[in-house]
């Protein structure tokens, strides 16, 4: 079953046409030279999403303490790539400085008739607007995407407006190996980064453990092979057991945009270590 949850981009010229009950969803490029004006409300939270977790947050007239007398309430956990804000007074205004990858981004928040429900800030160099910008996502960005995929269900339940810009599919495509099976349980597409994140179920039906190379995971679509840009996997499937692995593919192998659909049929490549080898865990 595949679900496409893509939001329409609403330009400032048409924001006034939106119904007050319809949350406005925005995608904005990160630029430290811009002061972002974000409309908020007292009725619902506005969720701000970043390519990676902010290293620091500094603000005026804003607090993460519900008992503090600040006009804007912020909800954020350290290490998370997103935060939510909500006005506590009808004329609330606040300024939030977000420190991200050694750059400062200034965000001004104010109550307005048509608030934003969700704002996704993306790195323009991976948005694919030109050949120079079609670079692969940074390791920090890819780690953040893995985290977003892992917490997708929780975010969907608690902050449904935050997943409107993510395509999600549960295809259950199976790739059968001699003594184990790789099943694609879920696929997530993050369009600004041109990245697909895969959640795999690896089931070992044999009597011996299976050792594989996480960094060499790949997916075959048609006659093209897309190697992993990042992986979170143990590299080991115990006998008669199941394990979970995550990996992502970003763009094409030559560095361009692939624009892969989550509706493809996926054949997962799990490179097995066939020689006598052992995983060495760091002490």
Checking if the pLDDT of 22 tops 90, the result is no
Same domain, 110 and 170: no
In a domain, 218, yes or no: yes
Checking if the pLDDT of 7 tops 90, the result is no
In a domain, 10, yes or no: no
Mean pLDDT, residues 135-143:
76
Give me the chain's average pLDDT, please: 83
In a domain, 66, yes or no: yes
Same domain, 116 and 160: no
pLDDT band for position 281 (cuts 50, 70, 90): low
pLDDT band for position 21 (cuts 50, 70, 90): low
Checking if the pLDDT of 133 tops 70, the result is no
| Single residue among 126, 159, 192 that ends a domain in this structure | 126
In a domain, 16, yes or no: no
In a domain, 241, yes or no: yes
pLDDT given at position 155:
74
In a domain, 282, yes or no: no
User: Which range has the top average pLDDT, 31-35, 142-146, 241-245?
Assistant: 241-245
pLDDT given at position 70:
93
Same domain, 181 and 261: yes
Checking if the pLDDT of 134 tops 60, the result is no
pLDDT given at position 161:
59
Q: What is the pLDDT of residues 224-261, one digit of tens each?
A: 999 999 999 999 999 999 999 999 999 887 777 788 99
Residues 6+ apart with CB under 8 A from 228: 214, 215, 216, 217, 218, 247, 248, 249
Q: What percent of the chain shows pLDDT beyond 70?
A: 81
Q: What is the pLDDT of residues 88-115, one digit of tens each?
A: 999 999 999 999 988 999 999 999 998 9
Mean pLDDT, residues 161-184:
87
CATH number at residue 197: 2.60.40
Smallest CA-to-CA distance from 250 within 161, 163, 135 is with 135
Checking if the pLDDT of 53 tops 70, the result is yes
Mean pLDDT, residues 49-58:
91
Residue 216 has φ and ψ, to the nearest 5°, of -105, 10
Total structural domains within the chain: 2
Same domain, 31 and 101: yes
Mean pLDDT, residues 172-179:
94
Checking if the pLDDT of 223 tops 90, the result is no
* Domain span including residue 29: 24-126
pLDDT given at position 165:
67
pLDDT given at position 10:
35
The dihedral sign for the CA sequence 77, 247, 232, 245:
positive
Same domain, 103 and 182: no
DSSP structure string for the chain: -EE--PPPP--GGGGGGS-TTS-EEEEEE--TT-EEEEEE-SSS-EEEE-SS--SEEEEESEES-TTS--SEEEE--TT-SEEEEEESSTT-EEEEEEEETTEEEEEEEEE-SS-EEEEEEE-GGGS-SSGGG-PPPPHHHHHHHHHHHHTHHHHHHH-GGGGTT-EEE---EEEE-SSEEEEEEEEEEETTTTEEEEEEEEEE-SSS-EEB-GGG-EEEETTEEEE-SEEE--SEE-TTEEEEEEEEEES-TTSS-----TTS--EEE--B--SS-------
In a domain, 274, yes or no: no
Q: Which residue has the tokens 């893509």?
A: 6
Same domain, 169 and 245: yes
pLDDT given at position 207:
93
């Amino acid at each position: 079953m595949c679900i496409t949850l893509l939001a329409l981009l609403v330009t400032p010229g048409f924001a006034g046409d939106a119904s007050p009950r319809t949350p406005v969803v925005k995608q904005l490029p990160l630029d430290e030279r811009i002061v972002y004006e974000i409309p908020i409300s007292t009725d619902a939270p506005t969720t701000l999403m970043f390519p990676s977790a902010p290293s620091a947050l500094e603000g005026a007239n804003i607090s993460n303490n519900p008992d503090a007398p600040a006009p804007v309430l912020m909800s954020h956990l350290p290490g998370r790539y997103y935060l939510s804000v909500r006005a506590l007074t009808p004329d609330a205004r606040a300024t939030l400085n977000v420190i991200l990858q050694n750059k400062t981004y200034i965000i001004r928040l104010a109550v307005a008739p048509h608030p934003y429900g969700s704002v996704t800030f993306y790195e323009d160099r991976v948005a694919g607007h030109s050949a120079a910008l079609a670079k692969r996502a940074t390791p920090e960005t890819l780690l953040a995407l893995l985290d977003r995929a892992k917490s997708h269900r929780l975010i969907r339940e608690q902050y449904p407006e935050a997943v409107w810009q993510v395509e999600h599919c549960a295809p259950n495509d199976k790739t059968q190996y001699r003594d184990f099976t790789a099943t694609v349980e879920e696929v997530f597409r993050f369009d600004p980064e041109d990245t697909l994140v895969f959640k795999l179920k690896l089931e070992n039906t044999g009597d011996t453990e299976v050792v594989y190379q996480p960094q060499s995971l790949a997916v075959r679509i048609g006659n093209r092979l897309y190697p992993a840009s990042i992986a979170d996997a143990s590299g080991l499937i115990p006998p008669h057991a199941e394990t979970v692995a995550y990996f992502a593919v970003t763009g094409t192998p030559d560095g361009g945009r692939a624009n892969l659909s989550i509706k493809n049929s996926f054949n997962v490549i799990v490179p097995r270590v066939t020689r006598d080898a052992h995983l060495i865990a760091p002490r």
